[in-house]
Amino acid sequence: MNNTGKFVLKILCPDQSGLVAAFTGGIAQNGANILDLTQHTSEDINIFFLRALMECESDAVPKIKEHFSKMEKEKSMQWQLYDAEHKTRLALFGSNTDHCLYELLLSRRDGALPCEFTCIISNHAVLEPLARFFNLPFFLVPSTLPKPEQDKKFNEILHASQTEGIVLARYMQIMSKEFTEEWNERIINIHHGFLPAFKGAKPYHQAWAKGVKIIGATAHFATADLDQGPIIWQGVQQVADTGSIEQFIQIGKEVEKRTLLQALKLWLEHRVFLYEGRTFVL
């Protein structure tokens, strides 16, 4: 007896006539029913994107894979088929602050995130009680270790726990080029982002001193270029000139929490497409 399941099909290819009909026809002909379909053509680069959520019996999956494999060369396309009911296994990295970690852990507990958290890794012991509260393994990897040794410890933990992706929930350390490349497109980071941007220590103090009117945050893929990875989602909040530095910090935390949560949801639902270093979210 075949089981019915839900799957997400993602397609990226040069734009050309008849793509929607060809792709949706291929899905239907191989026994799947489309539940949700989003497609977009970026006219600036002439690239077509499609995301289809579909339902089918298990014996239809090999047929769908074979069908789209045969279309690859003809359409010059990239495609992936994901099990929509699979709960991606993610590791959480943190440092001293825990507001983003709490947001993700509570959202997962409440069923708002389709994932499983495998562990919390930190360069500070302060987060160990949080890990215990949520029944997660905690691993302390000091930032004083040389980068190659840190990377080795990270990978030992991640591979042993069958981790598939990483969320940097205000992990305040620079990751090595080798590590970000090994986990390419599988590390999501949250960064306080302002207009203008403030770098270095105490960014909220700098923002207050300059009289900024908007506080923001950016969730992006981590790359070897610090805070320059492809952007997944951004959030902003208007702030009043009557606000204190402490109020700026609190507002900033709220923006960071909701921005990281939204970015992670989009990634877990396979809505994020990457093309030449730029994201397209459908």
Q: Are residues 201 and 243 in the same domain?
A: yes
List residues with catalytic annotation: 227
Domain range for 28: 4-83
Residue 71 maps to which CATH number? Answer: 3.30.70.260
Residue 140 maps to which CATH number? Answer: 3.40.50.170
- pLDDT over threshold 60, residue 196: no
Angle between helices 245-268 and 99-109 (to 10 degrees): 40
Q: Are residues 121 and 23 in the same domain?
A: no
Q: Are residues 102 and 200 in the same domain?
A: yes
pLDDT digits (tens, 9 = 90+) for 122-147: 999 999 999 999 999 999 999 999 99
Q: Are residues 31 and 144 in the same domain?
A: no
d(CA 155, CA 47): 35
Q: pTM above the 0.85 mark?
A: yes
Q: Are residues 262 and 133 in the same domain?
A: yes
Q: Are residues 99 and 62 in the same domain?
A: no
Give buried/exposed letters for 229-248 (b at 16+ CB in 10 A, else e): bbbbbbbeeebeeeeeeeeb
Percent of the chain with pLDDT over 90: 85
The residue out of 83, 111, 131 marking a domain boundary is 83
Q: Are residues 27 and 107 in the same domain?
A: no
Helices H / strands E in the chain, number of each: 8, 13
| Number of independent structural domains in the chain | 2
Q: Are residues 97 and 61 in the same domain?
A: no
pLDDT digits (tens, 9 = 90+) for 66-111: 999 999 999 999 999 999 999 999 999 999 999 999 999 999 999 9
| DSSP labels, 146-210 | -HHHHHHHHHHHHHHTT--EEEESS--SPPPHHHHHHTTT-EEEEEEEESS---SS-HHHHHHHH
